[in-house]
């Protein structure tokens, strides 16, 4: 799982577009993500967002995939970030955390969010609500989709606390900001909008 973040020499651009094999993005969405990333090159910019919270009853960190206005992570299944984070992920993070990710085949996206937020002290950037992404995930068979697997979710909870312990604190930062294209959903002629196709998704 961690091999997706190796600093391959063939990557010569500063921006890295990270996609899962089942992610569906239009060229318009990729173009908009890159435009936003150019203004925030130190952050993860992307579509599917998740959040963390402190569970006072269990006295541990929790992970939630509920679709709310509040988030602290942007999943690397559909995101853009600077290639420098490949170097940090590979050479700065301890082997124990990367081995945990590889053994579970899970949590590499959470670990990358921990790393970036620890470096920047800032939250990631969520862009236009990816309704299609949500429907794609929800439409998969519950047996086939790892997202519907309770063990998968429990593993991510465990990862959150293991990572926070190594970092010495919780580096993730909450945000409610979402960036949309200019005139997004506004009642004006579609011809005035640069990213016209995003509204039709």
Catalytically active residues, by annotation? 109
Residue 128 and residue 142: Cα distance in Å, rounded?
Answer: 26
Residue 185 and residue 164: Cα distance in Å, rounded?
Answer: 39
State residue 170 phi and psi, 5-degree precision.
-90, 110
From residue 102, how far is each of 1, 44, 98, 107 by CA, in Å?
A: 5, 22, 6, 9
- By DSSP bridging, strand 60-64 and strand 45-46 are unpaired
Neighbouring CB atoms inside 10 A of 74's CB total 28
Query: Which among 119, 145, 113, 120 is positioned nearest to 46, based on CA atoms?
Result: 113
Supply 35's token pair. Answer: 């435009």
């Amino acid at each position: 799982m961690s091999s997706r973040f190796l600093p391959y020499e063939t990557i010569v651009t500063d921006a890295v577009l990270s996609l899962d094999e089942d992610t569906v993005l239009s060229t318009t969405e990729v173009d908009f993500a890159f435009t936003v990333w150019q203004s925030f090159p130190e952050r993860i910019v992307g579509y599917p967002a998740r959040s963390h919270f402190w569970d006072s009853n269990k006295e541990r960190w929790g992970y939630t995939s509920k679709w709310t206005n509040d988030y602290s992570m942007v999943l690397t299944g559909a995101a853009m970030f600077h290639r420098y984070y490949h170097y940090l992920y590979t050479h700065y993070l301890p082997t124990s955390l990367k081995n945990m990710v590889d053994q579970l085949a899970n949590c590499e996206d959470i670990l990358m969010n921990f790393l970036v937020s620890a470096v920047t002290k800032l939250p990631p950037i969520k862009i236009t609500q990816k309704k299609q992404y949500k429907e794609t995930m929800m439409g998969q068979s519950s047996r086939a989709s790892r997202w519907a697997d309770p063990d998968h979710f429990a593993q991510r909870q465990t990862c959150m606390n293991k990572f926070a312990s190594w970092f010495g604190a919780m580096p993730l930062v909450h945000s409610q900001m979402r960036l949309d294209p200019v005139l997004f959903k506004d009642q004006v002629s579609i011809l005035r909008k640069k990213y016209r196709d995003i509204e039709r998704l």
